[in-house]
Chains A and B, each alone.
Chain A
Amino acid sequence: MKQATPPEPSQMQPVQANNSVISAQHLTKKFGAETAVQDVSFDVFGSSIFGFIGPSGSGKTTTVRLLTGVYTPTEGQVTVLNCSPAKFSQSDRARLGYMPQLFVLYPNLTVWENLNFAASLYGMGLFRRKRLKEVLTFVELYEHRSKLARNISGGMLRRLSLATTLVHDPELLFLDEPTAGIDPVLRHKFWDHFRELKSQGRTIFITTQYVSEADNCDLVGVQNQGKLLLVDTPQGIRHHAYGGDMVDFSTTEPFDFQAEAKLRLLSFVRDKTVRTGFNSMRIIVDEASTATPELMEWAQQQNIQVQAVEEYRPSFEDVFVELVRPEVSHA
């Protein structure tokens, strides 16, 4: 998408890939006796998408508000674009885009007027109609631009909210559940756009309840009950959830128990194996890429006719449940 208004020059360092754009160190936020976020530390690098996943009430929105300066941390430190959010100048703020979890614009204004308001809020120049049209077209709301916000659906409100966040083409975006209530086709389009923004050098901090969306992120933080369980790449998170990679191993003949016991004794196979049928089982291995040829070799030695050996990528829903389960049972 073409940039309508270049971001204001900032006193801060320009964002570069591999530079830490957001740095949270031991962030804790308490509301009275209740702890919403506890000892959270992570870094977000320039030109990347950082996904923040977790169940409802896990502290995702509180974390976003701590990063944007809406909240002040009870403990810990946060720097965004090398500056404390509490000390942001106007030009610093102009480099940010923030999409809150709920629609917070004006129901008595039209779609166009709401977007125009947001554009003015960021000081965009008077010749901005083209940019407004571009953004509205992207979120598929241009045809609905004359409708009052109170008369459009919840999904359309989310799209309008995203449009108001993108309209000034910010360098760093904080998107709090931008795809909630959006149909899968449009959600896919949104992610395509986020990746395009990333390729243009933008940095995106995104929270979502759709854990499957974590696959679109460069780094994923998994948050539960206010604590950050881990930060890793999507693949790393899967690996961590199951203690290794998963490989589906199937044979032409039924697999007997003696062979299964021998298989478990292999050095690259983890303790956990699951039978998925008479002829098949799912095996957790250290590395799927190296384990696959070794499994083929082992089967040949054991005169077992192999039907297929392939890596299994569990859905992120399953990964998330696996990760959160010990926390829940512990709680």
Chain B
Amino acid sequence: MRNFFRGIIRASSFFRKEIFEILRQPRLVATLIVGPFLILFIFGIGYRAEGRTLRTLLVVQSDSPIAAQDIQQSGETMGAQLTYAGATGNQAEALDQLQRGQVDLVIVEPGKITSTLQNNQQAVFTLYHHEIDPVRVSYITYLGWLFAGEVNQQVLRSFVAQGQTDAVDVQTSLQAAHQNVSAVRLAVQSGDEALAKQKQQGLAGNVDVVSTAVGASLLLLDSVQQTQVTSGGNTNQVRSVLADLRQNTQQLSDSPGSSDERLARLDKIDQDLTDLEGQLAEFQSIDPSIIVSPFRSETKSVANVQPSISDFFAPAVLALLLQHLAVTFAALSIVRERNVGTMELFRVSPLSAAEALFGKYISYLLFGGAIAAILAVLLVFALHVPMLGNWGYFALVIAAILFTSLGIGFVISIVSQTDSQAVQYSMIVLLASVFFSGFILSLDMLWEPVRVISWLLPTTYGTLLLRDIALSGSDPNWALLGGLIAIGLVLMLISWRLMRRLIASSQ
């Protein structure tokens, strides 16, 4: 028991020493608190969730069937991503402007569009840029895809608008058809077969015109309706009305039947014509943009909170900062003892490796915990980062991050020969954390074998756990937390064995 208490006293020597040494560097402490807070604060007010605006020059073809205005309009409908910098017919001059940096993007309209389409091929808009950043290249590629879609929609809108204009002529034919139906009905009722036959021929002509003219326009609407099949939409309505109309008109001429039958058929034809008029009126009343793009999407989250970008990154920043703080402090701790020469003193003294490590673990855990507490309070109450979960769980995860990170630091410290070596190793851990912990890139974007590195880093666990607690308000994922602590325990065991060898071994 006496030895146990002496061991505690020996360990406590490091606790006091480390804390005093850190507190003797107030600038360091202030930097550790103010630095991350300011970074998040400035990031929060400075981040704009908008793509980069590209100054865009159009190269239009002289024989283009698409109006340059339509192309420009397509670009403008895409929002702030593209700013129209003008149009030119000279591609070489446009590319020269791109090289000089006067514009960011050159969109070249495809040549010989008609013949290309006739050859059953798509005409291609080519987008020239001078980006080398793969992310920005992907952005421009995506922008090109959106742009082509917009142009296609613009073409379709023009086509639909033209169809709506043409529908006015179809209305005239429908009215003529109605008049011929009435005339045939009167002729049949009066027994004037010659007049009836004459008017039937006129009706047949009207139906042919309507079938041809209405078909293209109304079938477009019909296609839209077909997409609603699952919701009980009226499918094939226009198609069947037109078919009925042609069939009844044909039978009226080919096999007239009795007067009653003919009158009944005329009533059916009249009804179909009225239906078509209704359909046509509906078609004319719909905005061409709606017909071309009948659907759009909306996203709604069932999460408890909709965090801003800075809110979302806050737990990751906290986890990364605490990991880096713990790794760096621990990494410098033992290598500095060795360089100063105190290790020689320790070898002669009754100090054991476990006591030295225990003292250092406790001191850095408490110091890191204090920094984490101040930062967490600042994040939640000054930056208004949501904290939906349990503070106790939050503190538990912080302790686990610090514990495991200290293990990494102590292993680094014991295997390093110099301060600069320890700092270099710590920076490598930081760099690995930035790339592999999901801090910037989602873990899903990494090749699975590479994710092994991710799952060795405390930041990976910390980011996921802290986000779950703070932003989702859920309990920690116990498997993740267990994994983090297990890694910490393994690292503690390794550092203890290495430290024991370091203190005990003679040269």
Interface string of B332-368 (1 = CB under 8 A from A): 0000000011101111111110000000000000000
Let me know if B17 is at the binding interface, CB within 8 A. Answer: yes
Q: How far, in whole Å, are A61 and B10 apart by their CA atoms in the complex? A: 27
* Closest B residue, CB atoms, query A95: B350
Residue with the greatest number of chain B CB neighbours at <10 A, chosen from A93, A117, A120, A124: A120
Q: Which of B9, B17, B345, B348 contacts A123 (CB 8 A)?
A: B9
Do A70 and B6 touch across chains, with their CB atoms under 8 A apart? Answer: no
Question: Number of residues in A with C-beta < 8 Å to the partner?
Answer: 35
Contact B349 A122 (CB under 8 A): yes
Q: B490: shortest Cβ distance to chain A, in Å?
A: 27
User: B352 contacts which of A69, A90, A120 (Cβ < 8 Å)?
Assistant: A90
Which residue of B342, B346, B348, B350 is within 8 Å of A91 (Cβ)? B350
* Residue of B3, B17, B506 touching A71 (CB-CB under 8 A): B506
A164 to chain B, nearest CB (A): 8
Least Cβ–Cβ distance between B256 and chain A, in angstroms = 115
Sample of 6 more A-B contacts, CB < 8 Å, known A71-B507, A105-B340, A123-B350: A8-B6, A70-B348, A86-B506, A105-B345, A117-B13, A120-B12
Contact A113 B17 (CB under 8 A): yes
**Are A69 and B347 in touch, CB under 8 angstroms?**
yes
Q: Write the nearest CB–CB distance from B355 to chain A, whole angstroms.
A: 9
A98 interface hit (Cβ, 8 Å)? yes
**For the complex, what is the distance from the CA of A71 to the CA of B348, rounded to whole Å?**
11
Given contact pairs A86-B506, A113-B16, A117-B17, A93 touches B9 in the complex (Cβ within 8 A): no
Contacts of A124 in B (CB 8 A): 9
Complex Cα gap A124–B352 (Å): 15
For residue B43, CB closer than 8 A to chain A, the reply is: no
Question: Smallest Cβ distance from B506 to chain A, in angstroms?
Answer: 4
Determine if A70 and B349 form an interchain contact, defined as CB atoms under 8 angstroms apart: no
| Contacting pair B348 A117 (CB below 8 A) | no
Within 8 A of A (CB), among B166-202: none
A266 at the A/B interface (Cβ < 8 Å)?
no
27 contacts between A and B (CB under 8 A): A69-B348, A70-B507, A85-B506, A90-B352, A93-B350, A94-B349, A96-B348, A98-B349, A100-B341, A104-B340, A104-B344, A106-B21, A108-B20, A108-B21, A108-B24, A108-B25, A109-B24, A113-B16, A117-B16, A120-B12, A121-B13, A121-B350, A121-B351, A122-B10, A123-B5, A123-B6, A148-B24
Q: Which residue of B lies closest to A86 (CB)?
A: B506
Please, which residues of chain B bring their CB within 8 A of the CB of A109? Answer: 17, 20-21, 24
Closest chain A residue, CB of each to CB of B340 = A104
Contact mask for chain A residues 82-102; partner B; CB cutoff 8 A; 1 contact, 0 none: 000110001101101010101
B7, CB-defined interface residue at 8 Å: yes
In the complex, chain A residues whose CB is within 8 Å of the CB of B342: 104-106
- The 7 closest A-B CB pairs, nearest first, are A120-B13, A123-B6, A104-B341, A72-B506, A90-B350, A98-B348, A93-B350
Chain B residues proximal to chain A, CB less than 8 Å: 3, 5-7, 9-10, 12-13, 16-17, 20-21, 24-25, 340-342, 344-352, 506-507
A68 CB–B CB distance under 8 Å:
yes
Complex Cα spacing A71 to B507, Å? 5
What chain B residues lie within 8 Å of A86 (beta carbons)? Answer: 506
Question: Closest B-chain residue to A125, C-beta based?
Answer: B9
- Chain B residues closer than 8 Å to A105, beta-carbon distance: 340, 342, 345
- Judge whether B506 and A94 touch: CB under 8 Å: no
B16 & A116 in contact (Cβ 8 Å cutoff):
yes
Is the Cβ of A123 less than 8 Å from the Cβ of B20?
no
B341 neighbours in A (Cβ, 8 Å): 100, 102, 104
Complex CA–CA separation, A281 to B506 (angstroms): 54
Contacts of B21 in A (CB 8 A): 106, 108-109
- Contact B507 A121, beta carbon cutoff 8 Å: no
Residues of A within 8 Å of B344, CB to CB, are: 65, 70, 100, 104
Please give the distance in Å from B288's CB to the nearest CB on chain A. 77
Instruction: Kindly list chain B residues whose C-beta atoms are within 8 Å of the C-beta of A117.
Output: 13, 16-17
Residues of A within 8 A of B346 (CB): 121
- Cβ contact within 8 Å between A106 and B9: no
Q: Is the CB of A104 within 8 A of B507?
A: no
CB-defined contacts of B13 to chain A, threshold 8 Å: 116-117, 119-121
Q: Which of chain B's residues has its CB closest to A93's CB?
A: B350
A113 to B13, CA, bound (A): 10
Chain A contacts for B10, CB-based, 8 A: 120-123
Residue ID in chain B nearest A102 by CB atoms: B341
Contacts of B7 in A (CB 8 A): 123
B350 touches A70 (CB 8 A): no
For A72, give its contact among B20, B349, B507 (CB under 8 Å).
Answer: B507
CB contacts under 8 Å to B, within A44-84, are: 65, 68-72
In the complex, what residue of chain A is closest to B12 when comparing beta carbons? A120
Residue with the greatest number of chain A CB neighbours at <10 A, chosen from B5, B9, B25: B9
* CA gap between A60 and B58 in the complex, in Å: 86
B347 surroundings in chain A (CB, below 8 A): 68-70
**CB pair B348 A106 closer than 8 Å:** no
* A window 8-37: CB within 8 A of B: 8
Specify the chain A residue showing the minimal Cβ separation from B23.
A108
- Residues of chain B within 8 A of A85, CB atoms compared: 506
Report the nearest A residue to B13, measured CB to CB: A120
Residue of A nearest to B356 (CB): A121
Shortest B499–chain A CB gap in Å is: 15
A123 to B11, CA, bound (A): 9
- B125 smallest CB distance to A (angstroms): 66
Cα A83 to Cα B348 with chains together (Å): 14
Q: Are B9 and A120 in contact (CB under 8 A)?
A: yes
Instruction: Report the Cα distance A119→B12, complex, angstroms.
Output: 11
Q: Which residues of chain B are near A69, meaning CB under 8 Å?
A: 347-348, 506
Q: What CA separation (Å) do A102 and B9 show in the bound complex?
A: 25
